[in-house]
Amino acid sequence: MVSSSSSSSSSAPVCGVTLRVSAVSFANGGYTITVDADSAVCLPRELFVFQRKPNVELGSYNEFSHVAAPSDIEEYPAGAPVGYVPFYRLASVTLVFRNLDLLMQALMDLKRDIYLLVETINQMENVRECQFVVDKDGATPCLPIPEPEPPVPPVPPSSSSSSSSSSSSSSSSSSEEPGVLVWGAGAWGSGAVWGP
Protein backbone atom coordinates (compact mmCIF):
# COMPACT_ATOMS: atom_id res chain seq x y z
CA MET A 1 0.00 0.00 0.00
CA VAL A 2 1.28 3.46 -0.88
CA SER A 3 1.48 5.87 2.03
CA SER A 4 0.31 9.43 1.61
CA SER A 5 3.78 10.80 2.38
CA SER A 6 5.35 8.98 -0.56
CA SER A 7 2.79 10.02 -3.15
CA SER A 8 3.42 13.17 -5.16
CA SER A 9 0.88 15.93 -5.64
CA SER A 10 0.86 15.42 -9.40
CA SER A 11 -0.05 11.73 -9.29
CA ALA A 12 -3.64 10.60 -9.52
CA PRO A 13 -5.33 9.55 -6.27
CA VAL A 14 -5.68 5.84 -5.70
CA CYS A 15 -9.40 5.10 -5.70
CA GLY A 16 -10.90 2.50 -3.43
CA VAL A 17 -13.95 1.32 -1.52
CA THR A 18 -14.30 -0.24 1.93
CA LEU A 19 -17.11 -2.80 2.03
CA ARG A 20 -18.80 -4.13 5.16
CA VAL A 21 -20.61 -7.44 4.81
CA SER A 22 -23.17 -8.38 7.44
CA ALA A 23 -23.38 -11.82 8.98
CA VAL A 24 -25.58 -14.21 7.05
CA SER A 25 -28.99 -14.72 8.61
CA PHE A 26 -31.74 -17.19 7.80
CA ALA A 27 -35.33 -15.98 7.85
CA ASN A 28 -38.52 -16.73 5.95
CA GLY A 29 -36.92 -19.57 3.99
CA GLY A 30 -33.97 -17.55 2.67
CA TYR A 31 -30.40 -16.57 3.50
CA THR A 32 -30.00 -12.80 3.81
CA ILE A 33 -26.84 -10.74 3.50
CA THR A 34 -26.28 -6.97 3.47
CA VAL A 35 -23.30 -5.30 1.78
CA ASP A 36 -22.52 -1.67 2.69
CA ALA A 37 -20.01 0.65 1.05
CA ASP A 38 -18.71 2.20 4.27
CA SER A 39 -16.20 4.58 2.71
CA ALA A 40 -14.88 5.44 -0.72
CA VAL A 41 -11.96 7.45 -2.11
CA CYS A 42 -12.45 9.46 -5.36
CA LEU A 43 -15.83 7.89 -6.09
CA PRO A 44 -19.17 8.01 -4.29
CA ARG A 45 -20.28 5.37 -1.77
CA GLU A 46 -23.53 4.87 -3.71
CA LEU A 47 -22.34 2.03 -5.97
CA PHE A 48 -25.41 -0.22 -6.05
CA VAL A 49 -27.92 0.56 -8.82
CA PHE A 50 -31.60 -0.06 -8.11
CA GLN A 51 -34.63 0.20 -10.36
CA ARG A 52 -38.05 1.32 -9.20
CA LYS A 53 -40.61 -0.94 -10.89
CA PRO A 54 -44.38 -0.54 -11.06
CA ASN A 55 -46.61 -3.03 -9.25
CA VAL A 56 -50.40 -3.25 -9.38
CA GLU A 57 -50.76 -4.25 -5.72
CA LEU A 58 -47.93 -2.24 -4.15
CA GLY A 59 -47.81 0.77 -6.46
CA SER A 60 -44.07 0.25 -6.98
CA TYR A 61 -41.13 -1.66 -5.58
CA ASN A 62 -37.35 -1.29 -5.73
CA GLU A 63 -35.14 -4.02 -7.17
CA PHE A 64 -31.35 -4.26 -7.11
CA SER A 65 -30.05 -4.17 -10.69
CA HIS A 66 -26.22 -4.13 -10.72
CA VAL A 67 -23.02 -2.55 -9.45
CA ALA A 68 -22.66 0.89 -11.00
CA ALA A 69 -20.45 1.53 -14.00
CA PRO A 70 -18.69 4.91 -14.33
CA SER A 71 -21.48 6.09 -16.64
CA ASP A 72 -24.11 5.07 -14.05
CA ILE A 73 -22.33 7.18 -11.43
CA GLU A 74 -22.56 10.17 -13.77
CA GLU A 75 -26.16 9.59 -14.91
CA TYR A 76 -28.14 8.06 -12.03
CA PRO A 77 -28.93 10.05 -8.88
CA ALA A 78 -28.03 8.88 -5.39
CA GLY A 79 -30.88 8.17 -2.99
CA ALA A 80 -34.03 7.97 -5.11
CA PRO A 81 -35.19 8.12 -8.72
CA VAL A 82 -35.59 11.57 -10.24
CA GLY A 83 -38.13 12.34 -12.94
CA TYR A 84 -38.97 9.55 -15.36
CA VAL A 85 -35.66 7.68 -14.98
CA PRO A 86 -36.39 4.73 -12.68
CA PHE A 87 -32.74 4.00 -11.83
CA TYR A 88 -30.92 5.34 -8.78
CA ARG A 89 -27.95 4.43 -6.58
CA LEU A 90 -27.60 3.43 -2.93
CA ALA A 91 -24.63 2.68 -0.66
CA SER A 92 -26.15 -0.56 0.63
CA VAL A 93 -27.80 -3.65 -0.82
CA THR A 94 -29.61 -6.51 0.95
CA LEU A 95 -29.89 -9.76 -0.95
CA VAL A 96 -31.87 -12.94 -0.19
CA PHE A 97 -30.98 -16.40 -1.57
CA ARG A 98 -32.43 -19.90 -1.35
CA ASN A 99 -29.12 -21.52 -0.44
CA LEU A 100 -25.65 -20.60 0.75
CA ASP A 101 -23.94 -21.56 -2.53
CA LEU A 102 -25.95 -18.95 -4.45
CA LEU A 103 -25.26 -16.39 -1.73
CA MET A 104 -21.49 -17.00 -1.83
CA GLN A 105 -21.44 -16.83 -5.64
CA ALA A 106 -23.39 -13.54 -5.60
CA LEU A 107 -21.02 -12.10 -2.97
CA MET A 108 -17.99 -13.03 -5.11
CA ASP A 109 -19.70 -11.45 -8.16
CA LEU A 110 -20.36 -8.21 -6.22
CA LYS A 111 -16.76 -8.03 -5.05
CA ARG A 112 -15.50 -8.67 -8.59
CA ASP A 113 -17.79 -6.01 -10.08
CA ILE A 114 -16.74 -3.42 -7.48
CA TYR A 115 -13.08 -4.30 -8.04
CA LEU A 116 -13.54 -3.80 -11.79
CA LEU A 117 -15.29 -0.45 -11.17
CA VAL A 118 -12.44 0.74 -8.94
CA GLU A 119 -9.84 -0.42 -11.48
CA THR A 120 -11.71 1.39 -14.26
CA ILE A 121 -11.92 4.61 -12.22
CA ASN A 122 -8.19 4.36 -11.42
CA GLN A 123 -7.38 3.87 -15.10
CA MET A 124 -9.59 6.82 -16.04
CA GLU A 125 -7.76 9.00 -13.50
CA ASN A 126 -4.41 7.93 -14.95
CA VAL A 127 -5.52 8.55 -18.54
CA ARG A 128 -6.47 12.09 -17.62
CA GLU A 129 -2.98 12.72 -16.32
CA CYS A 130 -0.77 11.13 -18.96
CA GLN A 131 -0.17 11.04 -22.67
CA PHE A 132 1.33 8.46 -24.99
CA VAL A 133 2.06 8.21 -28.67
CA VAL A 134 0.93 5.32 -30.84
CA ASP A 135 2.73 4.92 -34.16
CA LYS A 136 3.94 2.15 -36.46
CA ASP A 137 6.47 1.03 -33.83
CA GLY A 138 3.88 0.66 -31.05
CA ALA A 139 3.01 2.85 -28.08
CA THR A 140 5.29 4.90 -25.86
CA PRO A 141 4.89 4.66 -22.08
CA CYS A 142 2.30 6.90 -20.49
CA LEU A 143 4.00 10.22 -19.69
CA PRO A 144 2.66 12.98 -17.42
CA ILE A 145 0.94 15.83 -19.23
CA PRO A 146 2.55 19.17 -18.38
CA GLU A 147 0.25 21.80 -16.93
CA PRO A 148 -0.71 24.22 -19.72
CA GLU A 149 -0.14 27.91 -19.41
CA PRO A 150 -3.40 29.84 -19.05
CA PRO A 151 -4.61 31.38 -22.32
CA VAL A 152 -4.25 35.08 -23.03
CA PRO A 153 -6.85 36.63 -25.29
CA PRO A 154 -5.44 38.19 -28.46
CA VAL A 155 -4.84 41.90 -28.35
CA PRO A 156 -5.90 43.72 -31.53
CA PRO A 157 -3.32 46.15 -32.86
CA SER A 158 -4.10 49.76 -32.05
CA SER A 159 -3.93 52.50 -34.65
CA SER A 160 -1.75 54.68 -32.40
CA SER A 161 1.09 52.16 -32.39
CA SER A 162 1.22 51.50 -36.14
CA SER A 163 4.92 52.34 -36.36
CA SER A 164 5.86 49.93 -33.57
CA SER A 165 3.56 47.18 -34.85
CA SER A 166 5.09 47.31 -38.34
CA SER A 167 8.55 46.57 -36.92
CA SER A 168 7.31 43.53 -35.00
CA SER A 169 4.76 42.26 -37.52
CA SER A 170 6.93 39.38 -38.67
CA SER A 171 7.24 37.92 -35.15
CA SER A 172 3.68 38.47 -33.91
CA SER A 173 1.48 38.26 -36.95
CA SER A 174 -0.23 35.06 -35.80
CA SER A 175 -1.13 36.55 -32.40
CA GLU A 176 -2.82 39.51 -34.09
CA GLU A 177 -5.13 37.40 -36.24
CA PRO A 178 -8.72 37.32 -34.99
CA GLY A 179 -9.70 34.11 -33.22
CA VAL A 180 -6.12 32.97 -32.42
CA LEU A 181 -5.34 32.45 -28.75
CA VAL A 182 -1.88 33.06 -27.41
CA TRP A 183 -0.80 30.81 -24.55
CA GLY A 184 0.95 32.55 -21.68
CA ALA A 185 0.35 34.40 -18.44
CA GLY A 186 -2.50 36.85 -18.55
CA ALA A 187 -5.83 38.01 -17.22
CA TRP A 188 -7.60 34.64 -17.61
CA GLY A 189 -5.95 33.21 -14.49
CA SER A 190 -4.54 29.76 -13.91
CA GLY A 191 -6.52 26.60 -14.53
CA ALA A 192 -8.47 27.92 -17.49
CA VAL A 193 -9.35 25.12 -19.87
CA TRP A 194 -9.91 25.63 -23.55
CA GLY A 195 -11.66 23.03 -25.66
CA PRO A 196 -12.46 22.66 -29.31
Question: pLDDT tens-digit profile of 24-51?
Answer: 888 888 999 999 998 888 899 999 999 9
Mean pLDDT within 5-15? 52
**Total residues found in the chain within this entry:** 196
Confidence of residue 132 (pLDDT cuts 50, 70, 90): low
Rounded CA-CA distance 1/11 in Å is 15
Domain assignments of the chain as residue spans, ordered by start: 16-131, 147-183
pLDDT at residue 196 is higher than 60: no
Find out whether 17 and 50 touch, Cβ atoms under 8 Å: no
Mean pLDDT within 170-183? 39
What's 68's DSSP letter? P
pLDDT at 12: 55
Task: For residue 64, give the H/E element and its range.
Answer: strand 59-67
- Residue 72 has a CB neighbour count (10 Å cut-off) of 19
Confidence of residue 184 (pLDDT cuts 50, 70, 90): very low
Tell me the chain's radius of gyration from C-alpha atoms: 27
Mean pLDDT within 59-65? 90
Does the pTM surpass 0.85? The reply is: no
What do you get for the CA distance between the two ends of the chain, in Å?
39
pLDDT at residue 194 is higher than 50: no
pLDDT tens digits, one per residue of 64-92: 999 999 999 999 999 999 988 899 999 99
Mean pLDDT within 128-156? 69
Mean pLDDT within 142-171? 59
pLDDT at 29: 86
Confidence of residue 61 (pLDDT cuts 50, 70, 90): confident
pLDDT at residue 178 is higher than 60: no
Query: 19: phi > 0 → left, psi -120 to 50 → alpha, else beta; which?
Result: beta
pLDDT at residue 18 is higher than 70: yes
pLDDT at residue 181 is higher than 50: no
